[in-house]
Structure 1
Amino acid sequence: MRVVISGAAGGLGREVAQSFLAQPGAEVHGLVRSVQPSGAAPDGLVLHEVDLTDPAAIRSLTLDGPVDALIHCAAAGDNMSFDAAGEADWERFFTVNVFGAAALTKHLAVQFAARACVIFVNSGLGLNASPSSVPYSSSKAALKSLADSIRPEMNARGVSVTTVYPGQVATSMLERNVRSMGREWQPDTYIQPHDLAQLIARIVEFRTSVQLTEVVARPLREPW
């Protein structure tokens, strides 16, 4: 099984990579903005330097053989009200969260194996927008529409499309946002990246006969 993971350098992306690396025979490819010195990535992970804001870099990605799973973990996001958000913020969020995901999916679509799957890691804000995170919420709503729009075409090729809507996950991005609001960072109160990664791995297992179109995951105890 060949798996491609965007955002493989992030907290969730690394855990997703680890979950597949633990499976016998899995070939795991991680997309990162820049390849770090040896030892920064999990053993066995094949790294590719691909900036999702650069269409040419996406088109230059070359993989030998069919792709069984494409998992979109890359994301850009900060707490930002409508008044505070500038044009550059809107462009950054939509370029990474939507345009990059669409371009990567289209680029690899010709290599999707029979019964392959595409998983978009969205956010709870993709379903319920937040006035304190306007550009991010908007981009995640657009990502939901992207997944829903391409699903019929992908299904016709035998490819499943799943969107995962996690609540708050204990990653560095969430820590930054929590601290920016002056709140205490308590990572144990949020979804653990390892647990969410295991859920994503299970979704891939179902790809041969079941399509889970939407999966909503919330913390065991909501942190408010």
Structure 2
Amino acid sequence: MAVHLVTGAGSGIGSVLARRLLDRGDDVVLLARDAGRAREIAARFPGATTIVGDLGQPGRLSWALSKQRLPERLDSVVHVAGVVDLGAVADLAPALWEQQLAVNLVGPAELTRLLLPVLRVSRGQVVFVNSGAGLHAHAGWSAYAASKHGLKALADALRAEEAEHGIRVTSIYPGRTATPMQARVHQQEGREYEPERFIDPESVATTILTALDLPRDADITDLTVRPGA
């Protein structure tokens, strides 16, 4: 039975992915930012294991995980959690840069570092759910796009470094997806949110599962998912 650790299971893509992994009988470990969130997630996903670690405080992740029981092996770590705050470079305060870089980039890097020993045991896989913003930056998206461009660099370097241990690394770049984050983006943009115009989170989850289930004779390194016509 495969064992997966998923971040961002509280809503959107992460929530859909966690449910589908559980429904097919896999073991699922869900990372929550605090104990209250962990209780909420555990109630929503019976059968899953929850652990607590705040990606917004990367320097404390090692301490937090050392106080909890972790799996002895992991077949995958799927990084879905993310935050976004839009704004022009001229207007963005350092705190907004720091938060997005921490949650979207430094936190995933540190969590991956801490879990590499158990990933190596099973020759597992790391999946980074990136964004179209990780490939192209637009006005108002500087901090978020910078964090996602950095996430691509992290994935590319990790792939080269861990190939000798048999670890596969995949970056997935969804376009705009109908999630609570997208609703918040539209609020920041001052536009009406019409979820039917965007990718269904189920479709992105299917893409992630495709990468996870790919036979070992092949590797999906980068995959872009765009809204359909």
Structure-2-length-normalised TM-score:
0.91
Paired residue for 2:90?
83
Query: More displaced, 58-67 or 140-149?
Result: 58-67
What code does the residue aligned with 1:14 have?
A: S
Task: Tell me the CA shift for residue 38 of structure 1.
Answer: 7.2
Task: Tell me the CA shift for residue 53 of structure 1.
Answer: 2.3
Cα 1:135–1:102, aligned 2, differ >3 Å: closer, same or farther? same
Paired residue for 1:32?
32
Structure 2 residue 49 is matched with structure 1 residue 41: no
Which residue, out of 148, 169, 181, partners 1:140? 148
Cα 1:57–1:160, aligned 2, differ >3 Å: closer, same or farther? same
What code does the residue aligned with 1:168 have?
A: R
Determine the C-alpha separation between the residues in 1 that align with 2:44 and 2:212: 22
CA-based RMSD of the aligned residues comes to: 1.5
Which residue, out of 178, 196, 209, partners 1:188? 196
How many residues in Structure 1 have an aligned counterpart in Structure 2? 220
Determine the C-alpha separation between the residues in 1 that align with 2:63 and 2:74: 16
Cα 1:29–1:85, aligned 2, differ >3 Å: closer, same or farther? same
Residue by residue over 1:28-55, the C-alpha shift from the partner in whole angstroms, topping out at 9 and shown as x without a partner, is 0010113244774222221112111233
Asked if the contact 1:8/1:30 (under 8 Å) is kept, the reply is yes
Task: Tell me the CA shift for residue 115 of structure 1.
Answer: 3.3
Which residue, out of 42, 50, 53, partners 2:53? 50
Asked if the contact 1:10/1:74 (under 8 Å) is kept, the reply is no
Cα 1:38–1:97, aligned 2, differ >3 Å: closer, same or farther? closer
Asked if the contact 1:117/1:159 (under 8 Å) is kept, the reply is yes
Query: More displaced, 85-94 or 32-41?
Result: 32-41
Structure 2 residue 21 is matched with structure 1 residue 20: yes
Question: Aligned runs of 1:123-138 on 2, under 5 Å?
Answer: 123-138=131-146
Task: Tell me the CA shift for residue 56 of structure 1.
Answer: 2.4
Determine the C-alpha separation between the residues in 2 that align with 1:39 and 1:74: 17
Structure 2 residue 219 is matched with structure 1 residue 215: no
Residue by residue over 1:69-115, the C-alpha shift from the partner in whole angstroms, topping out at 9 and shown as x without a partner, is 00000111122211121110111011111110000000000001333
Unaligned stretches of 5+ in structure 1? none
Structure-1-length-normalised TM-score:
0.93
What code does the residue aligned with 1:22 have?
A: D
Determine the C-alpha separation between the residues in 1 that align with 2:41 and 2:100: 29
The structure whose residues are more often helix, as a share, is 2
Determine the C-alpha separation between the residues in 1 that align with 2:150 and 2:79: 14
Task: Tell me the CA shift for residue 181 of structure 1.
Answer: 1.9
Paired residue for 1:71?
78
